[in-house]
Amino acid sequence: MELRFTDEQEAMRRKARTFARQEIVPCLPDMERDDAFPRRLVARMADEGLMGIPIPKEWGGAGADFVSYIAAIHELSKASATFGVILSVHTSVGTLPLLSHGTEEQKRQYVPRLAAGEWLGAFALTEPSAGSDAASIRTTATREGDRYILNGSKVFITNSGAADLYLTFAVTASGRGARGITAILLEPGMPGFRVGRPERKMGLHGSNTGELQLDGVSVPAAQRLGEEGAGFAVALGALDGGRIGIAAQALGIAEAALEAAATRLLPDSRNSRIGADCPGGLGTPGGPSRSRATGADSARAGAVLAKLAALAQQVEAARLLVYRAACLRQAGRPCTREASTAKLFASDTAVAVTGEAIELLGPEAWSKELPFERLFRDAKVTQIYEGTNEIHRIVIGNHLLKE
């Protein structure tokens, strides 16, 4: 098993890292203060070819592989989890399903725009009464001749209000559960389509999350993605890739917290590599040098090293799980269990590492001059969206039962 990036994957990782440090990091204070969608930076991501990384060149993408795409999410999320989720939703569940299930006309109409970043994609599945149990959605799509009439509402939709295309799921055959759900492509300018109130969230400032109101939206039957009644299968296929993307986002948060904590707590020259890798240049020395350290200082330093070592183990395990799932996805092999495992472990790790970093640093960690309180707030949602971690434990358990 090869455990290193190819030259092409490494080049994409470095491109994403350079973009994150040069373009995103300087804008973080404004994003945190204003909580406004970063349209200019998303456009710059498109200019850099980051919005269509795994999309084939013939469809306007970069033609890179899935691992390169996951590496880009990972690196962007070390600087800002907001950009990780914008890219993940746009690509994994907003664009790739069109390549897998779209007609030639649908692909010609939408994929080049999405791959180039001219359009932003979104995924509209969750409803007020259907979160983890997605098969119980109530939004309806009634067939009238050669059109569907959609009525209902969606909530907690990432990229809402900023997206140009929404992959939306609605019931076309009541009483059939998951087999009665159909996927339909909606554009925000369609009559009856309304973006509702935005959510004011604890974290992910700058990432739009909101509700959609569908009041008699009339769309041509040609906007259906896949066969009627096959929408739930479309959603599940998309979510495997989406969960790996969110796992990479959580991994980026955890790494950023670990590196920043090590830089603050271990300010001697031995830790220069960690300081150099820390987005935003957070390596401000603080604490006694070894030459002046007392016995108590030495004991505390040993305890801190032990804590950081334990956290580093968790982060390394998360990294291996994330990239293992990505490799399986890239190879076209089944990866539902592996995607759930990576998402579950990486998100739990992000919450553990950010929380422990704050415990180790004490009051200074709450300062907005440092990244810890932002990373802590951003980490929590990775345990909730793209399937709660309780759901992923059930998914993993069911796979164990089958085996």
CA–CA separation, 95 and 164 (whole Å): 12
Query: 163-198 burial by CB neighbour count: b if 16+ within 10 A, else e?
Result: bbbbbbbbbbeeeeebebbbbbbbebeeeebebeee
Query: How many CA within 13 A on the CB side of residue 282?
Result: 29
3 state DSSP class of 271: helix
Is residue 32 part of the annotated active site? The answer reads no
Neighbouring residues of 306: CB distance < 8 A, sequence distance ≥ 6: none
- Decide if 324 contacts 342 (C-beta within 8 A): yes
User: Which of the following is catalytic: 211, 259, 356, 386?
Assistant: 386
- Decide if 88 contacts 242 (C-beta within 8 A): yes
CA–CA separation, 209 and 64 (whole Å): 29
Classify residue 36 by burial, with Cβ atoms within 10 Å: 0-12, 13-18, 19+.
exposed
- Decide if 221 contacts 148 (C-beta within 8 A): yes
Crossing angle of helices 336-361 and 389-402, rounded to 10°: 140
CA–centroid distance for 182 within its chain: 24
Neighbouring residues of 174: CB distance < 8 A, sequence distance ≥ 6: 140, 180
Angle (CA) 161 165 169, round 5°: 100
3 state DSSP class of 142: strand
Crossing angle of helices 66-79 and 231-265, rounded to 10°: 50
Q: At 132, which amino acid appears?
A: S
Q: Which residues are catalytic?
A: 386
